[in-house]
Amino acid sequence: MQQAYFPNIGKVPYTGTSSLKAGLNFQYYDADEVIGGKKMRDWLRFSVAYWHTFGQKLDDIFGDGTAIRPWDGLTGMDLAKARVDGAFEFFDKLGVDFFCFHDRDIAPEGDTLRETNKNLEEITDMFVDYQKTSHMKVLWNTANMFTNPRFVAGAASSPFADVFAFAAAQVKEGLDTAKKVGAENYVFWGGREGYESLLNTDMKREQDHLGQFFNMAADYAKEIGYTGQLLLEPKPKEPMMHQYDFDAATTIAFMKTYGLEGTYKLNLEGNHANLAGHTYQHEIRVARSANLLGSLDANQGDKLIGWDLDQFPTNLYETTMAMYEVVENGGLGKGGLNFDAKPRRSSFTPDDMFYAHIVGMDTFAAGLKVALKLKQDKVLENFVADRYSSYDTGVGANIEAGKEDFKSLNQLVIDRPQSDIRSATKSGHWEELEATLNRYIIDTLK
Ligand code: XLS
Ligand code: NI
Ligand code: NI
């Protein structure tokens, strides 16, 4: 490391909850503490998103970037290299084990793809060197196929065959990169894989091309012996009016249509869930039920602005329920929690980069603690088991065993009076469960 990019910041320590004031310390995240049979770092597998943390200028559609960064003033490959040095200092001081990047986050584009790849490889050589002297791993890498104007109408779903070829070449390099840096996953987020208007779109043809593209990618990964997990990241819209990988359920249907369930899993993001009209927990539950939970992009949206804001996660209820699903899943396997999040435009100093990650990590660590306690006491399991217990014996068990039909069931209920059938249902006690959840959060974190 040539110079310190964050000279005023040391390694972020774990201090526990002795102070009410937050600072450059963790109050809940104690990386090596074993809870629920695993170290916290292994439950949570935190990852820093290269684009937001080292690329963001913190601009918005009405205003220029506000970010003050140690590499301001540099350009081109000098900027790219300074960011690598700064990034590895940041990872080390924050105490994370993983990072994620798009190809275009780490190096500038040249005039041809060949020149672009050369720039990219110079930077990934630096990654590989740093990986030898640190414990840092790549959670996933991906191809940015939405910024360059050639992707105006999509990448693999573009109406233009040459653009499909460019996308293929870019993902080929992406998978080679994944193998080179040992990425545990490779992600496809279909930034512009959707449409703006059906008036000019052949939806079936675009989806067929996209399905074919994912199969070609899986074939190439196999051919080069890349063994990481391939992931699709659903999002309903933005920048397109409609994105084909709308949400977990839609993407699973797409995967089944194009024979991708054996080779791909899902990467799910909190803010994307909200844009699709779901909770984060819903999306994770859908994936988990289908055995397709791959990895998580950790961020949150805002009730007051309906857009992909990529806020750092600070909502304890959301992180508790997300971690509840992760605990039920037995962990995240090769996946992790990638902070696809940026500080607000008004939080523009370099130490905000630390504060933002610290609150995200602590909020997920706190959520993990509550989730494990809920699970240990079987609070929800017992309630849910009782709620469905009529399927454990008698006619319920017969239905599940396929031993009943419409005629036999008709026979069973045709003469039963209304007063009698009311006694067959039970209250869901939603509010009572929420009160219990409040108690668990307050008591576990005190
Ligand atoms: C955008 C997506 C993007 C992916 C990676 O909304 O979340 O950041 O995670 O391309
Ligand atoms: Ni997003
Ligand atoms: Ni994302």
Mean pLDDT of 43-60: 97
Per-residue confidence (pLDDT) for residue 149, from 0 to 100: 98
Query: 24, 142, 29: which is closest to 96 by C-alpha?
Result: 29
Q: 76-94 and 113-133 helices cross at what angle (nearest 10)? A: 30
Q: 125-141: per-residue pLDDT in tens?
A: 999 999 999 999 999 99
Mean pLDDT of 249-263: 97
Work out the end-to-end distance of the chain between its first and last CA atoms, rounded to an integer number of angstroms.
Answer: 40
Mean pLDDT of 388-416: 97
| 173 C-beta closer than 6 A to ligand 1 | no
Ligand 1, atom 10: closest residue by C-alpha: 189
Buried b or exposed e, range 141-177, using 16+ CB within 10 angstroms: bbbbbbeeeebebbbbbbeeeebbebbbebbbbbbbb
Per-residue confidence (pLDDT) for residue 418, from 0 to 100: 85
| 105 C-beta closer than 6 A to ligand 1 | no
Q: 350-376 and 379-387 helices cross at what angle (nearest 10)? A: 50
| 245 C-beta closer than 6 A to ligand 1 | no
| 97 C-beta closer than 6 A to ligand 1 | no
- Find residue 102's DSSP bridge partners: 142
Inform me whether the pLDDT recorded for 91 exceeds 60.
yes
Inform me whether the pLDDT recorded for 412 exceeds 70.
yes
Q: 387-399: per-residue pLDDT in tens?
A: 999 999 999 999 9
Measured distance CA(237)–CA(234) in Å, rounded: 9
Measured distance CA(446)–CA(443) in Å, rounded: 5
Per-residue confidence (pLDDT) for residue 2, from 0 to 100: 55
Ligand 1, atom 6: closest residue by C-alpha: 308
Inform me whether the pLDDT recorded for 420 exceeds 90.
no
Inform me whether the pLDDT recorded for 1 exceeds 60.
no
Q: 340-372: per-residue pLDDT in tens?
A: 999 999 999 999 999 999 999 999 999 999 999
Please report which confidence band the pLDDT of residue 18 belongs to, taking 50, 70 and 90 as the band edges: confident
Share of the chain above pLDDT 90, in %: 95
Per-residue confidence (pLDDT) for residue 204, from 0 to 100: 98
Which residues are marked as active site? 102, 105
Average pLDDT of every residue of the chain: 97
Cα-to-centroid distance, 439 and ligand 1 (Å): 35
* Complete DSSP assignment for 326-394: HHHTTS-TT--EEE-----TT--SHHHHHHHHHHHHHHHHHHHHHHHHHHHTTHHHHHHHHHTGGGTSH
* Full-model pTM: 0.97
Query: 188, 54, 173: which is closest to 118 by C-alpha?
Result: 173
Per-residue confidence (pLDDT) for residue 354, from 0 to 100: 98
Mean pLDDT of 148-157: 98
